[in-house]
């Protein structure tokens, strides 16, 4: 049987992820595969850890890339910190807060959930009140950048409330890392996970994670085994650390790709990268609002890299997205959950955060909607 070679038409990726990938990262993927204990590769692992510490803005020793997408990072953080019967507070402001709740329940946590309307964020007082009413909690989980709503959660003040109550704070930065400020040490974050396919502009397949010293202690002194053998940091860290004990075969070439994407981030500089994302967001906002398209997230807490906008009345959601893809080669995302059929999610992430991308998608939308 003869199967034709794969031929993929390039797209301009402007959905909720993945984002466009720099040719340097694709070239890194094509480097020769070596063994996961090869000395050359171990040097790369060390450098990936150091660069992740820089991007997370942390000195945490337990910082690495989980072999799996951002959802694997979520499971890693929850499963390693939670034992059956532990109390956990989950702050739900969209789909991915709901997903964190589900993961925590599967890990055996006694979950209390608090919610705000879609597009809004939590205040520190709301979290304080929930802890006073339903606590104490071992872990408080929250999504920094809610990809389903386009809202950016103010973490620093909430982190202080969580620590004052003696709990650990777990933060989802899948969409925010390398697109806006994420300051793990400065904000006192205890466990944090992200994904490679968003603002890092690396293909999907890895999930950067980092754990504070307090979180490390919780993991090391568990009374029960982590429910996931694959995601057990007590074992995985021995491969990423000086021991180099085999746990599972690392995704060699994906690590190459992450290494190069992190190099690109640090070459640009975090501050400049954050500013670029904001500048593109403001350009998109100006052009869309001139077309009568409004944003759905709270004006004071909008994500620059994930723009959730209202679909104009009488417009066929799927038909517009299909034309964008087929006629213009541009991908944008549909709404999720409460925003399904009501919103488009326009990503400006990493390599996709350029004036060229903004102008292309707005010109195409204008032509289609006309």
- Give pLDDT tens digits for 198-213: 999 999 999 999 999 9
Q: Supply the pLDDT for residue 325.
A: 98
Residues with Cβ within 8 Å of residue 333, at least 6 apart in sequence = 15, 16, 344, 345, 346, 347
Peptide bond into 125 cis (omega under 30): no
Pick the CATH number of 12-16+270-369 from 2.170.120.12, 3.90.1150.10, 3.30.2270.10, 3.40.190.10: 3.90.1150.10
Residue 345 DSSP label: E
The pLDDT tens digits of the residues spanning 38-87 come to 999 999 999 999 999 999 999 999 999 999 999 999 999 999 999 999 99
Burial 200-215 (b: 16+ CB within 10 A, else e): bbbbbbbbbbbbbeeb
Query: 284 pLDDT band (50/70/90 cuts)?
Result: very high
Confidence category of residue 7, pLDDT binned at 50, 70, 90:
very high
Please report the pLDDT score of residue 56 as a whole number.
98
pLDDT, the chain, mean: 97
List pLDDT tens digits, range 321-338.
Answer: 999 999 999 999 999 999
* Same fold: 12-16+270-369 with 23-266: no
Contact (Cβ atoms closer than 8 angstroms) between residue 291 and residue 369: yes
pLDDT confidence bin for 28, thresholds 50/70/90:
very high
- What's the whole-number mean pLDDT along residues 233-249? 95
Longest dimension (CA), the chain: 66
Pairwise CA distance, residues 231 & 209, whole Å: 11
Q: How far apart are CA 320 and CA 326, in angstroms?
A: 10
Query: 23-266 has which fold?
Result: 3.40.640
The mean pLDDT of 282-287, rounded to a whole number, is 98
Question: Within 13 Å and on the Cβ side, how many CA atoms surround 303?
Answer: 37
For the chain, what percent of residues have pLDDT higher than 90? 99
Alpha helices in 172-315 (DSSP H): 213-220, 233-240, 252-268, 270-290
Q: Using 50, 70 and 90 to split pLDDT, how confident is the model at 186?
A: very high
Buried b (16+ CB within 10 A) or exposed e, 319-351: ebbebbbeebebbbbbbbeebeeebbbbbbbbb
pTM for the complete prediction? 0.97
Res. 311 pLDDT band, cuts 50 70 90: very high
For residue 249, what pLDDT is reported?
96
User: Is-contact 236 63, C-beta < 8 A?
Assistant: no
Q: Distance between CA 52 and CA 21 in Å, rounded? A: 18
Average confidence (pLDDT) over 92-114: 98
Domain boundaries, the chain: 12-16+270-369, 23-266
Band (pLDDT 50/70/90 cuts) for residue 160 is very high
Residues with Cβ < 8 Å from 228, sequence gap 6 or more? Answer: 75, 76, 79
The crossing angle, in degrees rounded to 10, of helices 355-369 and 270-290 is: 20
pLDDT, residue 183, reads 98
CA dihedral for 238, 240, 244, 245, sign (positive or negative): positive
Average pLDDT of the segment spanning 260-269: 98
The pLDDT score that the predictor gives to residue 190 is: 98
């Amino acid at each position: 049987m003869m199967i034709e070679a794969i031929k993929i038409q390039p797209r301009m990726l402007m959905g909720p992820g993945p984002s466009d990938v720099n040719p340097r990262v694709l070239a890194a993927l094509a480097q020769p595969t070596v063994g996961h204990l090869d000395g050359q590769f171990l040097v790369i692992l060390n450098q990936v850890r150091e660069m992740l510490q820089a991007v997370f803005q942390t000195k945490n020793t337990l910082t690495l890339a989980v072999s799996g997408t951002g959802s694997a990072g979520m499971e890693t953080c929850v499963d390693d910190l939670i034992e059956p019967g532990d109390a956990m507070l989950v702050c739900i402001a969209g789909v991915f807060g709901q997903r964190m709740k589900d993961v925590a329940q599967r890990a055996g946590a006694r979950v209390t959930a608090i919610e705000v309307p879609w597009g809004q964020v939590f205040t520190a007082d709301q979290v304080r009140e929930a802890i006073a009413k339903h606590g104490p909690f071992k872990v408080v989980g929250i999504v920094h950048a809610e990809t389903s709503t386009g809202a950016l959660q103010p973490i620093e003040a909430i982190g202080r409330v969580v620590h004052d109550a003696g709990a650990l704070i777990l933060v989802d930065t899948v969409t925010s890392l390398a697109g806006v400020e994420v300051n793990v040490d400065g904000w006192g974050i205890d466990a944090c996970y992200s994904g490679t396919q968003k603002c890092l502009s690396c293909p999907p397949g890895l999930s950067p994670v980092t754990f504070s010293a307090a979180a490390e202690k919780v993991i090391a002194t568990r009374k029960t085994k982590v429910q996931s053998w694959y995601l057990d940091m007590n074992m995985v860290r021995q491969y990423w650390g000086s021991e180099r004990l085999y746990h599972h075969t690392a995704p060699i070439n994906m690590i190459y790709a992450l290494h190069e994407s992190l190099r690109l981030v640090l070459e640009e500089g975090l501050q400049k990268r954050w500013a670029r994302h904001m500048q593109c967001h403001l350009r998109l906002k100006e052009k869309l609002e001139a077309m009568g398209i409004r944003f759905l997230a709270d004006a004071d807490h909008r994500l620059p890299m994930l723009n959730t906008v209202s679909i104009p009345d009488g417009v066929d959601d799927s038909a517009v997205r299909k034309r964008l893809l087929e006629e213009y080669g541009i991908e944008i995302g549909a709404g999720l959950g409460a925003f399904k059929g009501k919103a488009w999610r326009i990503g400006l992430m990493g390599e996709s955060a350029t004036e060229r991308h903004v102008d292309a998608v707005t010109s195409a939308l204008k032509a289609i909607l006309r």
